[in-house]
Amino acid sequence: MNTEDTGELVLPRSRQANERLHAMIPGGAHTYAKGDDQYPEHLAPVISHGHGAHVWDIDGNRYIEYGSGLRSVSLGHAHPRVLEAVRRQLDRGSNFVRPSIVEVEAAERFLATVPTAEMVKFAKNGSDVTTAAVRLARAATGRPRVAICGDHPFYSVDDWFIGTTPMSAGIPEATTELTVAFPYGDLAATEELLTWYQDEVACLILEPASHTEPPPGYLTGLRELADRHGCVLIFDEMITGLRWSEAGAQGLYGVVPDLSTFGKALGNGFAVSALAGRRELMEQGGLRHPGDRVFLLSTTHGAETHSLAAAMAVQTTYVEEGITARLHALGERLATGLRDAAASMGVGDHVVVRGRASNLVFATLDENHQPSQQYRTLFLRRLLAGGVLAPSFVVSSALSDADIDRTVDVVAQACAVYRKALDAADPTPWLAGRPVKPVFRRTA
């Protein structure tokens, strides 16, 4: 690692590249969650390349990487089976004036993997398909309001959701007023909301599971509520898709939504997402129904052959190689090691690892057990110095046992410093700059 005598990581080329990024690209990245404000000051590595579970920055440092591609690269970088499928299509052309046979094959593959869906339409990112699902629900019900689960962090870049966040600049209040929120796991509160806005709510949209498992009977109860109040139930499976089961959370928990959206792990880094659901709804965006047409999804690049080939290869690999089970096994090993390391350093109540084994995140709590961006900064600094790039602890199947053991060792060292900061009741001396910042905030 490129370090000074103090053992601190130094990234002169990355620092210079970050300045160049900010000069040309608003925010210095194309996704806010990848911004350098999410990392300790001057410690935001700019990536050169990746292979498997490792990435290298332009300063020559190698890292064990977690949360790869914001959870999209679940098989590891440059996965040979995916790359082989992509290369086969690149030589045959990637986009035509009419649908390609690859679109037929990709739809068949997807619907075989997610048998709870009857039709599917592909796009390039999650926002496209969640917004399409909302539009379809409004058209099908004739209702204006969208009910989102307020406990889940992100659904779309579009106005119906972003207007509800602190970054609502530029979004008319009238648009935001049409989005209401319900709490996860609370059926009574959700029914109260639906009753208050009787016959106004077009859909309930939520991640079916997140950092906590659904309470017993919750998803079934939500299905019954949606049916009783005549609204569309939408599962946002961007994260749960493939990681919970090959068919997503709906396949694991056995509750069938009206519509669901997939992405992230679906392409292993290639741009592909999917809106899937009941034929009766989906066909309203098609050509074989008698009613008004819904402009569902129409994307020039939505059916690029190489991205669909990647999706097919990913789904086949998951099914044939038991990838979901491997992700869970790796996550369980990692979570146990991390919790033991934190406890051994006396910070088990402050560095908290939570979530399903295939989707681990961590919380950094201060001396009063409150979430702290300062302590997160301290923790990230020590991880980076040890060669671990981990905005989360979301695993990929490319991780080895040695990678996990190394990660646990680095976390133990980070927790030792964390303990010192807690004892001093002040992490400032260990920050070496401004703290990391939350993605959603009103001012820069």
Q: How many CA atoms lie within 13 A of 20 on its CB side?
A: 7
Examine the pLDDT at 127 and tell me if it is beyond 50: yes
Q: Are 265 and 243 in contact (CB under 8 A)?
A: yes
Tokens representing residue 336 in the block:
């146990």
Provide the pLDDT for residue 320: 97
Q: What is the pLDDT of residue 182?
A: 98
Contacts with 213 (C-beta within 8 Å, 6 or more apart), sequence order: 356
Structure tokens at 191: 């029914």
Average of per-residue pLDDT across 55-68: 98
In one letter, which amino acid is 196?
Answer: W
Which pLDDT does position 407 carry in this prediction? 98
Confidence check: pLDDT of 5 > 60: no
Tell me what the mean pLDDT of segment 106-128 comes to. Answer: 97
Question: Quick one: 355 exposed, middle or buried, by C-beta within 10 A (0-12, 13-18, 19+)?
Answer: buried
Q: How confident is the model at residue 232 (pLDDT cuts 50, 70, 90)?
A: very high
Two tokens at 127? 């926002």
| Model confidence at 4: pLDDT above 70 | no
Measured distance CA(100)–CA(427) in Å, rounded:
57
* pLDDT given at position 113: 97
Is residue 71's pLDDT more than 60?
Answer: yes
* Average of per-residue pLDDT across 354-371: 97
Find how far residue 5's CA is from the centre of its chain: 37
Dihedral (C-alpha) 77, 79, 83, 84: value to the nearest 10 degrees? 170
Q: How many CA atoms lie within 13 A of 429 on its CB side?
A: 9
Q: Does the pLDDT value for residue 6 go beyond 50? A: no
Encode pLDDT of 27-43 as tens digits.
Answer: 999 999 999 999 999 99
Distance CA 178, CA 164 (A): 10
Q: If pLDDT is split at 50, 70 and 90, which confidence band does 1 have?
A: low
Candidates 337, 160, 356; CA nearest to 244 is 356
- Mean pLDDT over residues 82-104, rounded? 97
pLDDT above 50: residue 151: yes
Give the model confidence (pLDDT) of 279-329 as tens digits.
999 999 999 989 899 999 999 999 999 999 999 999 999 999 999 999 999
**What pLDDT does residue 219 have?**
98
Q: What is the pLDDT averaged over residues 111-128?
A: 97
Given this model, what pLDDT does residue 68 score? Answer: 95
Q: Where are the beta strands (DSSP E) in 232-349?
A: 232-236, 259-262, 273-277
Beta bridge partner(s), residue 261: 236, 275
- Mean pLDDT, residues 140-169 taken together: 95
Query: Average pLDDT in the 326-335 region?
Result: 98
Over the stretch 201-227, which tens digit does the pLDDT of each residue have? Answer: 999 999 999 988 999 999 999 999 999
pLDDT beyond 90 at 8: no
Q: What percent of the chain has pLDDT over 90?
A: 96
Phi, psi of 65 (to 5 degrees): -110, 135
Average pLDDT, rounded, for the chain: 96
Compute the distance between CA of residue 222 and CA of residue 219 in angstroms, rounded to an integer. Answer: 5
In percent, the amount of the chain with pLDDT more than 70 equals 98
**Per-residue pLDDT band at 83 (split at 50, 70, 90):** very high
Residue 116 has pLDDT above 80, yes or no: yes
Predicted local distance difference test score (pLDDT) of residue 98 = 96
pLDDT at position 171 is: 96
One DSSP character per residue, 366-389 reads -TTS-B-HHHHHHHHHHHHHTTEE
Q: What is the pLDDT of residues 233-291, one digit of tens each?
A: 999 999 999 999 999 999 999 999 999 999 999 999 999 999 999 999 999 999 998 98
Strand partners, 146: 179, 203
Cα distances from 109 to residues 52, 238, 281, in angstroms, run 25, 18, 21
Residue 204, Cβ neighbours under 10 Å: how many? 26
Sheet holding 54-57, edge to edge: 47-51, 54-57, 62-65, 388-389
